[in-house]
Amino acid sequence: MSDLEEEYRLEFFDQEGFVRRECVECGAHFWTRDEDRETCGEPPCETYTFIDDPGFAEEYTLEEMREAFLSYFEEHDHERIEPYPVAANRWRDDVLLTQASIYDFQPLVTSGETPPPANPLTISQPCIRMQDIDNVGTTGRHTMAFEMMAHHAFNAREDIEDAEQYAYEGEVYWKDRTVELCEGFFESLGADVEGITYIEDPWVGGGNAGPAIEVIYEGAELATLVFMSMEQDPEGEYELKDGNRYSKMDTYVVDTGYGLERWTWVSQGTPTVYEAIYPDQIAFLKDNAGIELTEDEQRIVHDAAALAGNMDIDEAEDLEAARDEIAAEIGVDVADLEALVEPLESIYAIADHCRTLAYMLGDEIVPSNVGTGYLARMVLRRTKRLVDEVGVDAPLDELVDMQAERLGYENRDHVRDVVRTEVEKYRETLERGRRRVEDMAAEHADAGEPIPTPELVELYDSHGIQPDMVEDIAAEHGADVDVPEDFYGQVASRHDEDAGGITAADADERFADLPATEQLYYDDQQGTEFEAVVLDVFEREDGYDVVLDQTMFYPEGGGQPPDHGTLTSDDATVEVTDVQIEDGVIRHRTDEELDKGSMVRGKLDVDRRRQLMRNHTATHVVIHAARRILGDHVRQAGAQKGVDSSRIDVAHYDRIDREQVRQIERLANEIVMANVSVSQEWLHRNDAEAEYGFDLYQGGVPPGEQIRIIQVDADVQACGGTHVARTGDIGAIKVRSTERVQDGVERLTFSAGTAAIEATQRTEDALYDTAAALDVDVWDVPDTATRFFDEWKERGKRIEELQEELAEARAAGGDDDATEVEVGETTAVVRRIDAEMDELRATANALVEDGQIAVLGSGGPASDVSGTSSDSSDGTNGAQFVVGVPEGCAVNAGEVVSQLASRVGGGGGGPPDFAQGGGPDADQLDDALADAPEILQAVVDA
């Protein structure tokens, strides 16, 4: 096993007189100029020494420090690069947020597939680390939002066989120069370079690894210098700390990270990092929340923070343990200290969270319950809770705007708008939750028991109500709550993860030897016929896979389905039903075999392909139109093209209403009618990104140095699909529906070309048929339908009234159809009324009100008076009974009904005073009713 010790023996260290030492506290190896040094310098082995004693010659604000860094590296031959969005999922699909500057260049640049935008380069990249969320504010040094200043150099070995295979060649600089530049920057700020220690700390992550150095100054880790140079390899020569083996790569990359906030903090020497980086907002928040401290109190807070800073408090949990110690040291009561410090901690967290939100929303992340949108929502809600708790009464959108303004954003109005919308949504959620908890609390308070844990878990998991909020609300209603220690564990256990990763289909070895198929559909997008040579044929379960030297058939990809068509050789014509591409080799799935080596003529199913092209270009047009109508935050969140219809999912924070659909449709068709040409061009990806930004990648990020750019009107996208030549070829675009596929994601389904016409015709047919059925003009359909519906409701009510009148009349007039028997003191009326259940019930009620027992049977409605009956049968749908018993009469209606119903092959029941039942054998109805007197007698005797 190698611990990479050799990797750290730098010439630079040698020349500068560094020595390698082992820390007496933690055992880490480090490099220092100070021969007497015993510890590595990093907490907990040593403490911060810059608090109240800044480590640089001058104090810097965030902006000044960023500029100092970038200009230093510019002066040393680095090109300054504009920061990337914090939404890393715009250019890669393995992560959601940008957490380090190197994220900007993964995976394609680091692997050598794509050249970096400059080499070497320097950047200050905004980042968000959600995992630190609990520590923000309390530890004094954690922030969720930060900028990682960096200098990167991308190197590729030249001593390899095929050096040109990588997008960059040769060495820009490596370890020695990296450390030298780092020292140089320290020096430029007037730091005492004697005090710097370099700790050996190999880095491993995401399948890559390499030696790395932590740069410690004044007790603080100010930079990490990573030398990414290895990749995971079971045969590898190095075994690293994650237990895996690694071997050297052909590319090797300098990946550095300098925390802008740390550097600013060290330059100012404030007790916490927050005070150094957000002085204005913290002053505002303190003032607004009415936090005024006496000089004594200020001193206590200051000392406590300084001590905490020195104590290597890495987690909020550790702080609780440390607080006793701190209080003792300063000589105050722990409770008093907490009362002083906690509001400040909230305020620090608010400032940090507002910056996080400004980053997220400024980069046009739309709050939702998926992906980055969910993260934005979580941060926003947490911030809102903190703001309310600490008693800040400024609207949240104003607080976020303070950060957006500081960052110089141009879309501040949009950011405020989104924050307001979200705050309102949260308010509604809280209100719903409050009512729910109040009911629950009252119930459990009555029972004198605490709210049980499963209820708590459900309140959080299904309704988004935090346990501590439940505690507060429950307390108001006198109910207790026990929040178990492992609460969030119990929540997690509700989410039974059904493992079952999708096993990737085994790559077929035999394809590996075949050359990449020439893609004729790019040379001539309008072409439909071609000639080719059959390179190979593979038998499959349901047909054959044919590989040609070149093809016009478009393989499935980018949401565009594959082409269909035929391949014809001298001997046979075969149908192509599917086309797939793998490693550049295109496979045509056919129903019959073709001879290897034969010449074939390929013909596309032209109608299908035309529709697919129309749909694909239309997709670009629709998303462009949606963006113009709904706002710049609109991005594609998925798409599927089809022959008859296509759909795109877009990120948007509200439902798309009918009027907006009309506007989108109109604008889309204006672009169609303008008949602008659809241009295809292959650009170097860096040029394309520089010119159009990451919005190019609406449909995903293509690999490679050159990317295909499709421009439709003002819309520019990287796209591998086939398109019509001019927008007019689309013919027409019809938006058919919108649907909310997730909160914050709207799906637009539309049709293009002939399918658009057909879709419209189908809708019209439905309208015409309706008009015909109502016997009115189409324009009168809405009014007529409304009138009919109202009248139908009126009639229902009238029928009910009449049924009641009829029932009363029946009850009053003893008519001949009824059999009356005496059951004890009470008269029972047994009668057959062929009517609906409603009518039977009404009659029974009327009889009961007259003090009589009602035993009513029905063989189904004699005539369908109400028009509401939905049964299609012809009166043979069985028998029903209703039995009603007046108060104080010892007859169980349920029992009677049960016995009657059993005679018609069914069952029944109900409360003792009013029961219903029935069965399928209507033929037995009269016999059953004839037996009713005996049944009544038997029941009363029992």
Binding site for RNA (CB under 7 A): 369-371, 374, 377-378, 381, 425-426, 428-429, 432, 435-436, 439, 458, 460-464, 488, 491, 494-496, 498, 638, 655, 739-743, 789, 793, 797, 841, 845, 878, 880, 884, 901, 906-911, 913-920
CB of 90 to RNA, least distance (A): 16
**Of the two residues 109 and 437, which places its CB atom closer to RNA in the complex?**
437
Distances (CA, A) of 494 to 486, 489, 781: 13, 9, 50
CB of 659 to RNA, least distance (A): 16
CB of 801 to RNA, least distance (A): 9
Q: What string of H, E and C letters represents the secondary structure of 616-640?
A: HHHHHHHHHHHHHHHCCCCCEEEEE
> Based on the number of CB atoms within 10 Å of its own CB, is 678 exposed (0-12), middle (13-18) or buried (19 or more)?
buried
Q: How many CB atoms lie within 10 A of CB 132?
A: 18
**Of the two residues 428 and 670, which places its CB atom closer to RNA in the complex?**
428
Q: Which two tokens mark 848?
A: 């009961």
Cα angle vertex 615, ends 614, 616, to 5°?
A: 95
Alpha helices in 464-605 (DSSP H): 467-476, 487-494, 509-512, 520-523
Residue 324 makes CB contacts below 8 A (sequence gap 6+) with 334
**Of the two residues 301 and 465, which places its CB atom closer to RNA in the complex?**
465
CB of 882 to RNA, least distance (A): 8
**Of the two residues 214 and 363, which places its CB atom closer to RNA in the complex?**
363
Q: Which DSSP helix (H) or strand (E) runs through 310?
A: helix 295-310
Give the 3-state secondary structure of residue 325: helix
CB of 429 to RNA, least distance (A): 3
CB 933 within 8 A of CB 828: yes
**Of the two residues 299 and 463, which places its CB atom closer to RNA in the complex?**
463
**Of the two residues 294 and 503, which places its CB atom closer to RNA in the complex?**
503
CB of 94 to RNA, least distance (A): 11
**Of the two residues 409 and 914, which places its CB atom closer to RNA in the complex?**
914
CB of 846 to RNA, least distance (A): 10
Q: Name the CA dihedral angle for 192, 193, 197, 202, rounded to a multiple of 10 degrees.
A: 130
**Of the two residues 677 and 786, which places its CB atom closer to RNA in the complex?**
786
| CA separation for the pair 732, 406 (Å, rounded) | 46
Cα angle vertex 655, ends 765, 428, to 5°?
A: 135
**Of the two residues 311 and 901, which places its CB atom closer to RNA in the complex?**
901
Burial 134-159 (b: 16+ CB within 10 A, else e): ebbbbbbbbbbbbbbbbbbbbbbbee
Distances (CA, A) of 614 to 398, 438, 444, 526, 677: 45, 56, 62, 12, 13
List phi, psi (to 5°) of 31.
Answer: -115, 135
CB of 379 to RNA, least distance (A): 11
Distances (CA, A) of 197 to 25, 28, 54, 226, 262: 15, 11, 18, 15, 16
Within its chain, how far is the Cα of 330 from the centroid?
Answer: 47
CB of 494 to RNA, least distance (A): 6
Q: Which two tokens mark 536?
A: 């190979």
**Of the two residues 700 and 910, which places its CB atom closer to RNA in the complex?**
910
CB of 137 to RNA, least distance (A): 19
**Of the two residues 259 and 917, which places its CB atom closer to RNA in the complex?**
917
**Of the two residues 264 and 383, which places its CB atom closer to RNA in the complex?**
383
DSSP state of 560: B
CB of 228 to RNA, least distance (A): 24
| CA separation for the pair 774, 6 (Å, rounded) | 89
CB of 539 to RNA, least distance (A): 34
Of the candidates 276, 214, 219, 250, the residue with the CA atom closest to the CA atom of residue 47: 219
